[in-house]
Chains A and B, each alone.
Chain A
Amino acid sequence: MTEQAEPLVAPALEMRGITKRYPGVVANDHVDLLVRPGEIHALLGENGAGKSTLMNILYGLARPDEGEILLDGVPVRIADPADAIARGISMVHQHFMLVPVLSVAENILLGEETMAGPVFLDRREAHRRIIELGRRFGFEIDPDARVGSLSVGWQQRVEILKALYRDARILVLDEPTAVLTPQETEEIFGVLKRLASEGRSIIFISHKLYEVLEIADRISVMRRGRVVGERIPGKTDEDDLAELMVGREVQLTVDRGQSHPGEPLLRVENLVVRDDRGKDAVRGVAFEIRAGEILGIAGVAGNGQDELVQALIGLRRTTSGHVRLGGSDVTGHSPRSMNEAGVAYVPADRHRFGLVLPFTIADNLALTRYYRAPYAHGVLRDDRAIEAAAERAVGEYDIRTPSALARASTLSGGNQQKVVIAREFGADPRLLILDQPTRGLDVGSIEFIHRQAIARRDAGAAILLVSAELDEILEMSDRIAVMYRGEIVATRDGRTADKNEIGLLMATGGLSREATPAGTPAA
């Protein structure tokens, strides 16, 4: 442990020797976790390292096979989430558990109604407490606002308020910053620090290293169901943590090297695209991508990126404007003809678009080219060629599976994404559209995918990278375009871009629009 003298107060939470076995895996293998009062304790680990299992045990969603839980030094058995909440443990999930049509107050009261008599809610009292709680932690919130109309950052605050309203003493936050802009992240960190200064304990689950270093008082690193190390932020760094987390040395930021852009390959002119409700989601977007260049599109989710990408690959009709690929007009072409023209696409939602989960890995690898040689001759599928190609791809892209004939649903998220990447990158595309290519993946998989993308760029492909992860955009892009409410509000050079400026542009669209036409590449 540390050389500091341990405080005499009992730890707020102690988990001792927690073991949880599922058929075939030990999700938690004698895990010890000690969280002191007023401590922000980060739980760091890759997907599948056992963080969620441990927290589910704490929250009463799973029962440990071995081990015990002590709250303030007293052993307890946590029966279910209601029991956990009653004991002062609250959880803020990555995907918020809020009812969008209800107001802030109604969401907070849900399950813990403050009553005035047997039937009616005491709204006034509830409002008073909510406003007071908000003030205490540095923000003002309108209890009558509809949750659905709030930004993601504010919705998260509602979740935290919900926990505080129940007087949570131990607050578990599962990847709270995954959906936030840098500014929102800073603000939430402020709130968390105030909470800690009141003596509440916070367990902060993350796989973002720099964040953990910034916010945590203590960091526990998990790997393969075990706690493999504990660190104090001042005495460690990102490389150390990454190595601990992955179990080998990891290169955190891929060296993107110098790009050598060639001729403009994709040219988008005044593109207008409607969303499902018939509103203009993309409003006159124009940009260019040259061969051998990565253009990153930064933006908070829901600012027209999805519609833009769908229009580019032919899944959504364009209202007006043009898409030109290597000189020929491909506006409104079908997904098949875009694919034939050398456009590959890694969709944001791999389960919905990228994969057919019950199918084999081999079939999934052939999903976009199943109809032509070598995968088929006429209408006849060539299973042998499909399997042979799949086995090559499994080796080349290091897809961890016992067999290329295993179902895609049996793979971990990172390996599923590798299947999509192998299929799309393997087609040797001229234009590669990457939509949130690393969402939800662990450090090792992210490193792999980034490397592959850089290699494709250096081989002369034009790459459009759409990501809500600003760090990914900053690390990967040669040029960055910021999308806000369906327009590109600014373009910056990827190497000199300022993170805070981009974050501000993402959140507000910029106060003054630039005079230069958006998307013009730097000369």
Chain B
Amino acid sequence: MTTPRARWTPRRAAAAAWGLAALPLIAIVLALAVGAIVILSSELILGGSFDPFLPVTAYRALIVGAFGSFDAIVDTFVATSPLVFGGLAVATAFKAGLFNIGVQGQFLMGALGAVVVGVALSSQPMPIAIVATVAAGILVGGLTGFIPGLLKAVSGAHEVVTTIMLNYVAVSVLAALVSGPLKVPGSPSPVTYDVGNAAYPILFGRNGHLGILIAVLAVLGVRWLLYRTTIGFEIRTAGTNPDAAAYAGMRPRRIIVVTMSLAGALAGLAGTDVVLGVTHQMTSSFGTTVGFDSIAVALLARTEPYGILPAALLFGAMRAGASLMQIQAGIPVELIDVIQATILLVLVATPVLRRLLRLRGARSGIATTPTITRSYGGEVAP
């Protein structure tokens, strides 16, 4: 006896697509609306001439800034690539039922590892320098993820707490090293040497570096790992139903350690991406909002690897286009934070939203992956 697959029809496919994308799209639209209200009300508060079309001007500038020219598009890709790695780092942990808030710390540590090795190998042949540097970024980031994983597996210490604490540790370690041993001697400011040959080569446009390609490969790789390997099956099972995972003979503690290390490694790649692709050196104030944006990216992508690409692109585009918005419309870059925060808020408030809008088929990433609710106060299975 054979079991026929559900027949494919355009209507069914459309319904499935709507089910997947409805809430993220609604979240984005609502966030833009809130952003518009913020712009208008700030006009009112600040006084001066009131331009009711200022939000339109601002958003148009934002879009032109992100996609208006070939170079703008490439810069959007550059801003997107670390978010792809970071989003994957959060999403992979979510798949195992873990809430990795430590991407920021893992990102910084990975970048630090890349700088140390990159500077050391800066005059080696490019392939050797790049491979070794990237490996260092992965390794140091992975170790930073390994620590909270181990703590949770051994003592049950909650990863939300330990990863947040490690974020502060990472900031301090970075500041200490960059203003100490890694500092260019005699330089008035805390800055490291250039990574030289370890820098990602430019593949297209003015700034389109190798890291963008690696980011796309990482999405494919993580997708493959999660859905095509037994390790991925273990991760997903542990995240969806830890009791069933234990019953099926999987080892939840090992899965926690492996997943957190993997997440750390991906976050480390994000740090490596910024160092080798953009800054080529590091200052003691190195650091972007990548770590925290990644959480929003993963949620918007509903923790699915393929969803990370569009979600990261959206956030990358807003970051890349924001400066033109500031110049043309006089709206501070921080409006992007407002929009991102609203997207996050809407996604987290999904159950309420679904009831309000009477969305039946649409499911949020949060509802389908019971990870967030389980992650808070969740216990390690024996």
Interface residues of A (CB under 8 A from B): 313, 315, 334-337, 339, 345, 347, 352-359, 363, 367-368, 370-371, 376, 379-381, 383, 391, 394-395, 401-406
Contacts and interface: CB of A to CB of B under 8 A. Distances in A.
Given A394-B3, A402-B3, 13 more contacts: A335-B248, A345-B247, A347-B247, A353-B243, A355-B244, A356-B237, A363-B233, A370-B233, A381-B228, A381-B229, A401-B3, A403-B5, A406-B6
Contacts of B230: 370-371, 376, 379-381
B289 interface: no
B246 A354 contact: no
Contacts of B243: 352-353
A215 B3 CA distance: 44
Contacts, number: 79
19 contacts: A335-B249, A336-B249, A337-B249, A345-B247, A352-B244, A356-B237, A356-B241, A358-B368, A359-B236, A370-B230, A381-B228, A381-B230, A383-B228, A391-B2, A391-B3, A394-B3, A403-B4, A403-B5, A403-B6
B228 A354 contact: no
Contacts of A381: 228-230, 232-233
A306 to B, nearest CB: 13
Given A391-B3, A394-B1, A358 B240 contact: yes
B153 to A, nearest CB: 16
B10 interface: no
Nearest to A371: B230
Q: Would you list the 3 A-B pairs with minimal beta carbon distance, nearest first?
A: A336-B249, A395-B1, A335-B249
B11 to A, nearest CB: 15
B246 A367 contact: no
B382 interface: yes
A352 B237 CA distance: 12
Given A335-B249, A336-B249, A367 B1 contact: no
Interface residues of B, number: 26
By CB atoms of chain B within 10 A, which of A334, A379, A395 has the most? A379
Interface in B245-264: 246-251
A41 to B, nearest CB: 36
Interface string B1-20: 11111100000000000000
Interface of B: 1-6, 228-233, 236-237, 240-241, 243-244, 246-251, 368, 382
B7 to A, nearest CB: 10
Contact of B229 (A315, A357, A380): A380
Nearest to B233: A370
A379 B231 contact: yes
Nearest to A23: B360
A105 B333 CA distance: 63
A357 B246 contact: no
Given A334-B249, A356-B237, A358-B368, A402 B4 contact: yes
Nearest to A394: B3
A271 to B, nearest CB: 18
Contacts of B247: 313, 315, 335, 345, 347, 353-354, 368
Nearest to B368: A358
Contacts of B232: 381
A379 B229 contact: yes
Contacts of B240: 356, 358-359
Contacts of A354: 244, 247
Nearest to A354: B244
Contacts of B237: 356, 359, 367
Chain A CB count within 10 A is highest, among B232, B249, B368, for B249
Contact of A353 (B1, B6, B244, B251): B244
Nearest to B241: A356
Nearest to A362: B3
A358 B241 CA distance: 9
B251 to A, nearest CB: 8
A395 B4 CA distance: 12
A357 B241 contact: yes
Contacts of B4: 402-403
Contacts of B244: 352-356, 367
A249 B233 CA distance: 42
A67 B256 CA distance: 55
Nearest to B381: A315
A98 to B, nearest CB: 26
B122 to A, nearest CB: 36
Contacts of B382: 315
A401 B241 CA distance: 22
